[in-house]
Amino acid sequence: MVYKFLEQLFPGQCLVCGQPGVQGRDICATCLEELPRNRPCCPCCAAPLPSWQADGSLCGSCSAKPPPFLRIIAPWRYEAPLDVLIQQLKFHRRLAAGRLLGELLAGEIPSGPKPDLLVPVPQHPRQLRRKGFNHSSEIALFLSRASGIPWSPWRLKKIRETRSQHRLSRKERQDNLRGCFHFDNSGAYRHVAAIDDIVTTGATAREAALALKRAGVEQIEIWAMARTPEKC
């Protein structure tokens, strides 16, 4: 009640262009409309497909070899104005952007059985100390609040430091990440979604999924804000 009243009093301000927000959020109607939909895309790895292909067609990689996760949900493409929001969170620690991203992603959760737990894709503790925060945790926190699905910032851990993924080939990316995550499944979770900001090659998604699988999770999903064009 109080929250609704505050929403009317402070309608929010668009983090992209500064106009008044809609639905009590920090995004205006125009920028909300302009968020670049990831369609058509592969229903399994969310790789963007050429515009002539039907939405929901499996991409070549997923047809050739099913990935270790059930699916990646990435509702948007990493283009303007969504990229601005992700950069505000990631590089400028604008936590209002984390809240907005989490709320937007909550609105995209498909119907059907929901995960028992959300876990942010983690950083190594040393990296976390250097940077001071994990942007995926910010998204997961607000996604959890908006969706009612519990989250844990510590069950999925990064147990080994890795090199920056930029400039590495696909093969090098996979080697670089191999075995870097560990999932504590003392809660016996069976359906878990790992939360990330962007899926690029899918190497991180794959490695996180393998850690969940090793810990006995049966249904593994990766939920991210955006997908870049490279395939898994």
Interface with Zn ion by CB under 5 A: which residues?
Answer: 14, 16-17, 19, 28, 31, 42, 44-45, 47, 59, 62
Contact 228, 196 (CB under 8 A): no
CA-wise closest residue to 183 among 119, 87, 88: 119
DSSP symbols for 74-109: --EES-TTHHHHHHHHHHH--HHHHHHHHHHHHTTP
Please enumerate in sequence order all residues whose Cβ is within 8 A of that of 92, keeping only pairs 6 or more positions apart, or say none. Answer: none
Judged by CB, which is closer to Zn ion: 19, or 219?
A: 19
Sign of CA dihedral 23, 25, 27, 28: positive
Q: How far is CA 130 from CA 38, 125, 133, 198, in A?
A: 33, 9, 9, 21
Judged by CB, which is closer to Zn ion: 47, or 217?
A: 47
| Amino acid in position 137 | S
Judged by CB, which is closer to Zn ion: 17, or 159?
A: 17
- CB atoms closer than 10 angstroms to residue 186: 8
Smallest gap from Cβ 148 to Zn ion, in A, equals: 28
Judged by CB, which is closer to Zn ion: 58, or 146?
A: 58
Judged by CB, which is closer to Zn ion: 28, or 224?
A: 28
Asked, as a colleague might, if the bond just before 229 is cis with ω within 30 of 0, I would say no
